[in-house]
Amino acid sequence: MPKPPKSIDFATTLAELEAIVAKLEDEGTSLEQSLADFEKGVGLIREAQQSLSGAEQKVAKLLEVQGEPVLEPFQDSGDAE
């Protein structure tokens, strides 16, 4: 399975995933191409999850008070779909 480059940022990863989903929804795509795209998508999802996990750890570290992490609920601005 080809691995995506590690230097891809999160937004680029999401854009690539959206493109893969669009290709997978195309009924004219061959089974072989669909499987290859799916495999690439799984790799991109793993990379995105690692990126999010790293960001979460950084946020937790920034919110530490007297050596104890302070967990605060995420306040979504409502801009997402």
CA 13 to chain centre: 6
For residue 29, the 8-state DSSP code is S
Residue extents of the structural domains in the chain: 10-62
81 pLDDT band, cuts 50/70/90, is very low
pLDDT tier at 38, thresholds 50, 70, 90: very high
Mean pLDDT on 54-75: 73
Model's pTM, two decimal places? Answer: 0.64
Q: Tell me which residue has tokens 């790293």.
A: 54
* Residues 49-64: tens digit of each pLDDT: 998 888 888 877 777 7
- Name the more confident of 28 and 61: 28
